[in-house]
Structure 1
Amino acid sequence: MGWKHVTALAGGGTIALAALQGTASATPGSGVTARTIAQGTIDGTDYVLRELTIAPGGSTGWHYHGSRLRAVVTRGTLTHHASDCSVDGLYGEGDTIVEPAGPDAVHLGRNLGPTPVVLTALYLVPHGSPLAVDAPNPGCDFE
């Protein structure tokens, strides 16, 4: 096993990740592709750095995270919806996103623009936990 050092800008801070390699799996929504950049486990916590691309018209699907997620938009504009269907964030290139954890924080990310949205996301989850948990549509007239 080799050592990689990856530095990611997340939540306005710099987080150094060491000893990261491998792959992670997720259930992306419509028009979403994901690529694991780095992954590792330190002291019972999985550190996963991923690049997510959302095609024009695509969405993440309704979901929540078991722990706080931090991400940076590197391309495009992400429209972020809360479970009450409202837009709770509009994030453009260079903006950071911090998503709260838990089933009370169900949300959806959509690409309503003409170009792909690209995010670099950092997940810190208890070892073996999923990166995201699918959730039903909370009653919004969009997916």
Structure 2
Amino acid sequence: MTLRRIFTQALLVCLVSTAVLCVFKFTAKATPPSGLSFTLVGRATLPEFRVKRKDKALDWEMEMEAEQPVDLATQIVTFQPGGFSGWHTHPGPVFFTVRTGSLTVYEGNDPTCSPHIFTAGTGAVEAATSNHIHMVRNETGSIAEAVVTYIVPVGANPLRTDLPDPGNSNCPF
């Protein structure tokens, strides 16, 4: 083996080792949930649809459309005291209702990391886009439950994707 070949192989080993170390050092770690349990209530594939409803007497209007079949899945998510979802997103829109207790939502793109508090009987629509990063926390001493309905592409699994901490130093956790 020539000196040049030995040098080339040694250089290649160094470069590969450095690249591997950089990947491990600089890969952001996902923030998985803690203190949560998920109970699937049901999941079904729905055909494409267009729904438009209007009630003039109530001054109410709603429109929803799926141009291809979608999966509709509903879960009960139980948060133990201090439990949290971790930073995450979803592959489609999510409707959630707090069934018991109180939950606090933080938005990953909010520079102030302001808490949005939802108590039993309230809720919201999440994940208007696939890059909507958020965290849900039970900041109370009691168990909280949410009923969560996902509208996702057929076969989408998982219903959530854990993401790294967006690095907002204003978040209190």
- Classify the TM-score, shorter chain: 0.7 to 0.9
Deviations 1:81-124 (A, max 9, x none): 01136135100000022112334310000001011110001101
Separation in 1 of the partners of 2:98 and 2:160?
A: 18
Separation in 1 of the partners of 2:130 and 2:89?
A: 6
Count of residues in correspondence between the two structures: 117
The structural deviation recorded for 1:59 is 0.2
Query: For 2:131, what is the secondary structure of its paired residue?
Result: helix
Hey, what does 2:136 align to over in structure 1?
Answer: 109
Separation in 2 of the partners of 1:134 and 1:64?
A: 7
2:101 and 2:120 in contact (8 A); partners too:
yes
Hey, what does 1:94 align to over in structure 2?
Answer: 121
Residues 1:66 and 2:91 are matched in the alignment: yes
Separation in 1 of the partners of 2:78 and 2:121?
A: 15
- The residue identity in structure 2 corresponding to 1:29 is P
The structural deviation recorded for 1:55 is 0.5
TM-score for both structures, normalised by structure 2: 0.62
Report % sequence identity: 30
Separation in 2 of the partners of 1:133 and 1:75?
A: 25
2:36 and 2:77 in contact (8 A); partners too:
yes
Unaligned runs of 5+ in 1: 1-27
Of stretches 69-78 and 101-110 in structure 1, the one that deviates more from structure 2 is 101-110
Of stretches 83-92 and 33-42 in structure 1, the one that deviates more from structure 2 is 83-92
Separation in 1 of the partners of 2:165 and 2:128?
A: 18
Distance of aligned partners of 1:103 and 1:41 in 2 relative to their CA distance in 1, 3 Å threshold: closer
The structure with the largest alpha-carbon Rg is: 2
Hey, what does 2:162 align to over in structure 1?
Answer: 134
2:138 and 2:144 in contact (8 A); partners too:
yes
Hey, what does 1:53 align to over in structure 2?
Answer: 78
Deviations 1:34-81 (A, max 9, x none): 101111112221110110001101100100112110011011110100
Residues 1:38 and 2:42 are matched in the alignment: yes
Deviations 1:17-49 (A, max 9, x none): xxxxxxxxxxx6100001011111122211101
1:64 and 1:101 in contact (8 A); partners too:
no
Which has a greater percent of helix?
2
Aligned CA-pair RMSD: 1.9
